Protein backbone atom coordinates (compact mmCIF):
# COMPACT_ATOMS: atom_id res chain seq x y z
CA UNK A 1 0.00 0.00 0.00
CA UNK A 2 1.36 3.44 -0.84
CA UNK A 3 1.23 6.35 1.58
CA UNK A 4 1.87 10.08 1.68
CA UNK A 5 4.56 11.77 3.73
CA UNK A 6 4.78 15.47 4.64
CA UNK A 7 8.28 16.77 5.35
CA UNK A 8 9.15 19.94 7.27
CA UNK A 9 12.02 21.56 5.41
CA UNK A 10 13.44 25.04 4.92
CA UNK A 11 15.93 24.19 2.17
CA UNK A 12 13.97 21.47 0.33
CA UNK A 13 16.97 19.16 0.75
CA UNK A 14 16.89 18.06 4.38
CA UNK A 15 14.44 17.46 7.20
CA UNK A 16 15.55 20.50 9.19
CA UNK A 17 12.46 22.28 10.52
CA UNK A 18 10.35 22.07 13.66
CA UNK A 19 6.77 21.09 12.79
CA UNK A 20 5.38 24.33 14.24
CA UNK A 21 7.92 26.54 12.49
CA UNK A 22 8.23 25.15 8.97
CA UNK A 23 7.44 27.51 6.11
CA UNK A 24 6.79 24.59 3.74
CA UNK A 25 5.72 20.99 3.76
CA UNK A 26 7.12 18.88 0.96
CA UNK A 27 4.71 16.10 0.04
CA UNK A 28 5.98 12.74 -1.17
CA UNK A 29 4.35 9.43 -1.93
CA UNK A 30 6.09 6.22 -0.92
CA UNK A 31 4.91 3.41 -3.16
CA UNK A 32 4.50 -0.29 -2.42
CA UNK A 33 7.83 -1.06 -4.06
CA UNK A 34 9.47 1.45 -1.64
CA UNK A 35 10.20 3.99 -4.37
CA UNK A 36 9.14 7.53 -3.59
CA UNK A 37 7.91 10.39 -5.69
CA UNK A 38 7.75 14.12 -5.00
CA UNK A 39 4.19 15.42 -5.36
CA UNK A 40 4.13 19.09 -4.33
CA UNK A 41 5.12 21.89 -1.94
CA UNK A 42 2.48 23.20 0.44
CA UNK A 43 3.01 26.63 1.96
CA UNK A 44 2.50 26.73 5.71
CA UNK A 45 1.96 29.76 7.94
CA UNK A 46 3.91 29.11 11.15
CA UNK A 47 2.40 30.69 14.30
CA UNK A 48 5.47 32.89 14.77
CA UNK A 49 4.97 34.49 11.34
CA UNK A 50 1.48 35.76 12.13
CA UNK A 51 0.79 37.58 15.44
CA UNK A 52 -2.85 36.51 15.29
CA UNK A 53 -1.84 32.85 15.12
CA UNK A 54 0.70 33.24 17.92
CA UNK A 55 -2.10 34.10 20.34
CA UNK A 56 -3.79 30.75 19.63
CA UNK A 57 -0.86 28.41 19.12
CA UNK A 58 -2.91 25.19 19.23
CA UNK A 59 -5.25 26.53 16.56
CA UNK A 60 -2.25 27.39 14.38
CA UNK A 61 -0.87 23.87 14.84
CA UNK A 62 -4.28 22.46 13.94
CA UNK A 63 -4.22 24.54 10.72
CA UNK A 64 -0.82 23.08 9.88
CA UNK A 65 -2.14 19.57 10.54
CA UNK A 66 -5.19 20.31 8.39
CA UNK A 67 -2.89 21.41 5.57
CA UNK A 68 -1.38 17.90 5.49
CA UNK A 69 -4.51 15.99 6.53
CA UNK A 70 -4.31 13.72 3.47
CA UNK A 71 -0.85 12.54 4.57
CA UNK A 72 -0.23 9.44 6.66
CA UNK A 73 3.13 10.49 8.13
CA UNK A 74 4.94 13.73 8.92
CA UNK A 75 8.72 14.02 9.34
CA UNK A 76 10.15 17.04 11.16
CA UNK A 77 13.32 17.79 13.10
CA UNK A 78 11.22 18.38 16.23
CA UNK A 79 7.57 17.93 17.09
CA UNK A 80 6.19 19.26 20.37
CA UNK A 81 3.78 17.31 22.59
CA UNK A 82 0.84 19.52 21.65
CA UNK A 83 1.51 19.03 17.95
CA UNK A 84 1.87 15.25 18.43
CA UNK A 85 -1.60 15.12 20.03
CA UNK A 86 -3.12 17.17 17.22
CA UNK A 87 -1.43 15.11 14.51
CA UNK A 88 -2.48 11.81 16.07
CA UNK A 89 -6.07 13.05 16.35
CA UNK A 90 -5.89 13.68 12.57
CA UNK A 91 -4.52 10.15 12.06
CA UNK A 92 -1.11 11.47 10.97
CA UNK A 93 1.88 9.63 12.45
CA UNK A 94 4.57 12.09 13.59
CA UNK A 95 8.25 11.19 13.51
CA UNK A 96 11.21 13.27 14.66
CA UNK A 97 14.14 13.09 12.25
CA UNK A 98 17.63 14.29 13.13
CA UNK A 99 18.61 16.57 10.23
CA UNK A 100 18.72 13.88 7.55
CA UNK A 101 18.68 14.50 3.84
CA UNK A 102 15.12 14.03 2.61
CA UNK A 103 16.12 11.17 0.32
CA UNK A 104 17.76 9.29 3.19
CA UNK A 105 14.84 9.91 5.54
CA UNK A 106 12.38 8.57 2.97
CA UNK A 107 14.54 5.51 2.29
CA UNK A 108 14.73 4.77 6.03
CA UNK A 109 11.00 5.27 6.44
CA UNK A 110 10.18 3.08 3.43
CA UNK A 111 12.44 0.25 4.60
CA UNK A 112 11.44 0.36 8.25
CA UNK A 113 8.66 -1.26 10.17
CA UNK A 114 7.77 2.13 11.66
CA UNK A 115 4.94 2.70 9.22
CA UNK A 116 3.25 -0.63 9.88
CA UNK A 117 3.89 -0.39 13.63
CA UNK A 118 4.16 3.34 14.41
CA UNK A 119 5.33 4.79 17.69
CA UNK A 120 4.08 8.39 18.12
CA UNK A 121 6.90 10.91 18.16
CA UNK A 122 9.45 8.18 17.46
CA UNK A 123 12.79 9.24 16.01
CA UNK A 124 14.12 7.89 12.73
CA UNK A 125 17.91 7.84 12.98
- One digit per residue, the tens of pLDDT, for the chain of length 125 reads 789 999 999 999 999 999 988 999 999 999 988 899 999 999 998 766 655 655 566 778 888 999 999 999 999 999 999 899 999 999 999 999 887 999 999 999 988 755 544 445 555 54
pTM of the model: 0.85
- Looking from the CA of 118 toward its CB, the CA atoms found within 13 Å total 17
Domain 3-124: give its CATH code: 3.30.420.130
Angle of helix 57-67 relative to helix 81-89, nearest 10 degrees? Answer: 50
Report the C-alpha gap between 18 and 80 in whole angstroms: 8
Amino acid sequence: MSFKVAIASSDRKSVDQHFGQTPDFLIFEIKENRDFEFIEVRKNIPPYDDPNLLEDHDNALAKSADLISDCDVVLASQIGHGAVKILLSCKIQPYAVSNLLIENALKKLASSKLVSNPVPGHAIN
